[in-house]
Structure 1
Amino acid sequence: MFQVKWLATRSSRLLGSVTVASEFGGVLSVSLERNGVRTMASKVLNLDNLNPNVIKLQYAVRGPLVIRAAEIEKELQKGAQKPFKKVIRANIGDAHAMGQTPITFIRQVLACVTLPDLIKTGNYPEDVKKRATEILNSMGGKSAGAYTMSHGIEYIRRQVAEYIERRDGHKANWQDVCLSGGASNAIKNVLQLFCNKVNGKTSGVLIPIPQYPLYSASLAEYGLGQVGYYLDEDKDWALQIDELERARKEASSNYAVRALVVINPGNPTGQVLTRDNIEAIIKYAHKNKLFIFADEVYQDNVYAKGSQFFSFKKVLREMGGEYSSGVELASFMSVSKGYAGECGLRGGWMELVNVDPDVQAQLYKAISAMLCPTSLGQTTVSCVAAPPVKGDPSYDQWLKEKTAVLQSLNARADMIAKTFNSMEGFTCNPVQGAMYAFPRFELPQKAIDAAKAAKQPPDVFYAFKLLEETGICVVPGSGFGQRPGTFHFRTTILPQPALLQEMLEIFQQFHKKFTQQYK
């Protein structure tokens, strides 16, 4: 029998004689004992010789809290008595898991591509059948089971280029578009290009703090330098150029800072950058020879009055001159977000702008080693990039469903910010866009002391208490990064309205009780 102990979490499980010590998800040591004899050295691969970057890697969105939430769900299924009857997973931007209804046009096209007989026998609109036929004609053997080109089906890449042209009003070359298994794969593929030393220094990448943990995890995995710049919470999480400069200059003694990540609309912060702000960022990148990663996966998710999405590519082109032709940019989009929310189908794309053709060829070569994105993910990209147009049989229903999703998200964004701002000790900036709120909250000193005794950061301590007492799962702000001395958490706005209202009411009751307990 093996025994596993997961320290600094709230659970331990008997699985065998392996002892795993972990502090907030980071493995510290592993040993294998049988009959009292340690046998770590008997394994070809162990923590002493494992890639240290893998050990260093952290991904808070799927960390110990989420593991514990899954355990609680199983406990509830087995009849365990808890002060709640269900777990509310507000930790991750998974729209369908939180009850969002799939878009009919997307699912009908997917059905026909997966089972082509439905094109003849299914009771589907003609534009659905036509789209499925065109996609199948672009696949080897006219089957979704065939490999595609490594950087995506040309027919769908052309549709993405046309989408970008409609969005920006500027030419897009389909050969600069690469399809991917969600935006995450594309981001990681481009980050790998920077795995090299420049003048003896490791390459560094500027990332926002708070940030989406994909970036910190990938930088750790690739051995790249993380250079964090703080977003200005007091100004609705604005990106300040002087803060970019502070971060870059301080890091320059250790790293060759070569790239800048901007998430717009923001995750986890929900801000939407103004056009003037984007222009200033582009000028800064040009001045300091920085490659821009424009993470724009929430471009359809803009709610606040006066907020508007501007793509970096559009602004760059309209700035003209040395900016339009000189600033290197990779922009990213995903079908997991927006109104589609098709996270599990893993579809996305990137567009490369002003990238050296030889570098682009090397990138495509590297991507080819991964064979291809999923054909069904690419099919979903086709449906998002080229949705029904007015006059198509599917148009009215598609527009109704899309509008309903975005209007509901708008109302939930407003509801969640207002509720947290009404709670004692909380401040929450408006959720201008994306799918998350990142409220700041105060903790009594007694709670901070209790967290220290539990060997947990205070926001982690709070989040575990919340989970164990209410079933609500959020992600502590320390998993995204935050200014020292401040406490936050990220929650999605994705629970359907009735469930979100219930969650917020429970949250208010918990916080009042917690504050009284540690007053």
Structure 2
Amino acid sequence: AGRAKYPFDRILFANIGNPHALGGVQPLTWPRQVMALVDLPDECGVDNAQAQQMFPPDSIARAKDMKQQLDGHGSGAYTHSKGVQAFRQDVANFITTRDGGVVPSNPDDIFLTNGASSGIEMILKALIANPNSGVMIPVPQYPIYSATITLLQGKCVGYRLDEENGWALNAKELERSYQEAVVRQGIDVRALVVINPGNPSGSVLTRQNLHEVVQFCSKHNLVLLADEVYQENVYSNSIEHQFISCKRAAYEMGLLGDSSNTMNSQPSLELVSFHSTSKGVIGECGRRGGYMELVGIDGAVKEELYKLVACASLCGTNGQIMTSLMVRGPKPGDASYESHEQEKQSNWESLKRRSEIVYQGLNAIPGFSCQPAMGAMYCFPKLDLPPKAIQAAHAQGVTPDTLYALSLLERTGICVVPSSGFELQDQSQQGVGDDSDIHPRKARYGFRMTFLLNDNEMTEAVQKIRLHYEAFCQEYS
């Protein structure tokens, strides 16, 4: 962009969760050191006489260990289709510790993936058998779900989150959506997706919400797909809104087949959970690292999934390395432990601080309403648009919030995503309700905005949005 045509000298990309590119998350030193040493030939890296002058001893030791686990082939060779066994063990140990040590994780149930996306796509491919296969997804939803389900010719079954209650999940809405799909439309609903913390909503589901989800899936024999890539991105001070995994929730409700906890007699839960190196406080999007864990999945099904993985080479070696480094960092007492923890804390604090800058700033604009960003990397405000703007958008064949977002970009250089991009077309008139008839829902206009720019840019962006909104409303008054 240039001043000759536009009234700004740069574009502020607040449309995508790309932490390093936007400066919102600084690269962590220790994982980069280990990665560099693993990539380098031994004589240039771990065995070089000068290595100890450039790298701390724990990064050298970890790199040597990783090279050994890679059978001496380095990071440029193929690995086991599910990922390196030792790296999967690191993930299993991380999950067990995360869930309080009460629910063991088996590395044989772990698949290392290219980010979370490749795992999500593979599981959806396995679930959608024909055009009548349905998957329940939250609305608003991350578009990878609706796009992939549509690509596979399946059916998207939307359930609405409750914006006025902090984007909470409503158990009655789950049941209403399921019955509408199964009874009225004859859809074969096979799975339910939960995104926690939420994208684009920035919500964090409560323990009660998650208990209701796992019970609902068990009751209706649905596979639960738990998108938990933002599990480290929780900023709420409320005990109620801290991250709890779906696996832990299922254990607490006695729905894990191998659990000794038998609170009820409901069938065991089938669960696939996803995590990624792209978010959290590590933010390594370009590494394409992640994992999925299969819980309660039949052995024959796991064998078929393994065949799919073997055909697709599911995860690159560098992504596997970064995943291992994400879930198993330096130990207390290691040379890099304190600096590594300080860098992680600094990234988390900066995200929390900017989430408040954006939430409070947008919520203070008359005509805007924004729920607190309790988690993830986004704010998702709602705004009132003048009737003439809505009419103009319809005349141009675009949604009203697309008209607004394009105007915001052209006049301020701020790039956001219209909230209509997170909707389902056939859900546009559906509201959060009980199990009675569907009732019309007032159209919602807004956008998703990251808080990954630096503090000054975020403050500047909020002020520009305020001034632009006032001018936009005046133009269409």
Q: Same fold (TM over 0.5)?
A: yes
Matched with 1:497 is: 455
Taking CA–CA contacts closer than 8 Å with sequence separation of 6 or more, which of the two structures ends up with the larger relative contact order?
2
Whichever residue aligns with residue 94 of structure 1, its letter is N
Give the Å deviation of 1:246.
Answer: 1.1
Match of 1:164 among 89, 95, 111: 95
Check the 8 A contact 2:67/2:74 in 1, yes or no. yes
Matched with 2:27 is: 102
1:129 counterpart = 2:53: no
Matched with 2:205 is: 273
Change (3 A) 1:384 1:322: closer
Spell out the pairing of 1:391-402 with structure 2 (5 A cutoff). 391-402=333-344
Distance 1:167 1:193 in 2: 28
Match of 2:407 among 455, 462, 465: 465
Give the Å deviation of 1:372.
Answer: 4.1
The runs of 4+ residues in structure 1 deviating greater than 4 Å are 321-325
Matched with 1:64 is: none
Whichever residue aligns with residue 319 of structure 1, its letter is M
Match of 2:193 among 248, 251, 261: 261
Matched with 2:254 is: 320
Match of 1:367 among 289, 292, 309: 309
Matched with 2:436 is: none
Deviates more, 1:303-312 or 1:366-375: 366-375
Matched with 2:326 is: 384
Distance 1:298 1:395 in 2: 23
Distance 1:129 1:81 in 2: 52
TM-score (norm 1): 0.83
1:506 counterpart = 2:464: yes
Check the 8 A contact 2:223/2:270 in 1, yes or no. yes
Matched with 2:382 is: 440
Matched with 1:216 is: 146
Change (3 A) 1:118 1:322: closer
Aligned-pair identity (%): 43
**SS of corresponding position for 2:116:** helix
Whichever residue aligns with residue 190 of structure 2, its letter is R
Check the 8 A contact 2:83/2:315 in 1, yes or no. yes
Check the 8 A contact 1:446/1:518 in 2, yes or no. yes
Check the 8 A contact 1:86/1:471 in 2, yes or no. yes
Match of 2:180 among 231, 247, 250: 250
Distance 2:186 2:250 in 1: 30
**Number of aligned pairs?**
440
Match of 2:78 among 138, 144, 147: 147
Match of 1:118 among 35, 45, 55: 45
Distance 2:19 2:456 in 1: 15
Give the Å deviation of 1:322.
Answer: 6.6
Distance 2:407 2:374 in 1: 29
Distance 1:254 1:461 in 2: 36
TM-score (norm 2): 0.90
**SS of corresponding position for 1:227:** strand
Check the 8 A contact 1:91/1:490 in 2, yes or no. yes
RMSD (Å), alpha carbons: 1.4
Check the 8 A contact 1:147/1:372 in 2, yes or no. no
Check the 8 A contact 1:335/1:342 in 2, yes or no. yes
Could you tell me which runs of 5 or more consecutive residues in structure 2 were left unpaired when the two chains were aligned: 260-266, 430-442
Match of 2:231 among 294, 299, 304: 299
Distance 2:227 2:255 in 1: 24
Give the Å deviation of 1:80.
Answer: 4.4
Distance 2:169 2:143 in 1: 18
Matched with 2:129 is: 196
Give the Å deviation of 1:142.
Answer: 2.6
Give the Å deviation of 1:446.
Answer: 1.0
Could you tell me which runs of 5 or more consecutive residues in structure 1 were left unpaired when the two chains were aligned: 1-71
Q: Note the alpha carbon deviations across 1:297-335, whole angstroms, 9 max, x for none.
A: 000000011120000111111222577571000000000
**SS of corresponding position for 1:142:** coil
Matched with 1:235 is: 165
Whichever residue aligns with residue 467 of structure 2, its letter is Q
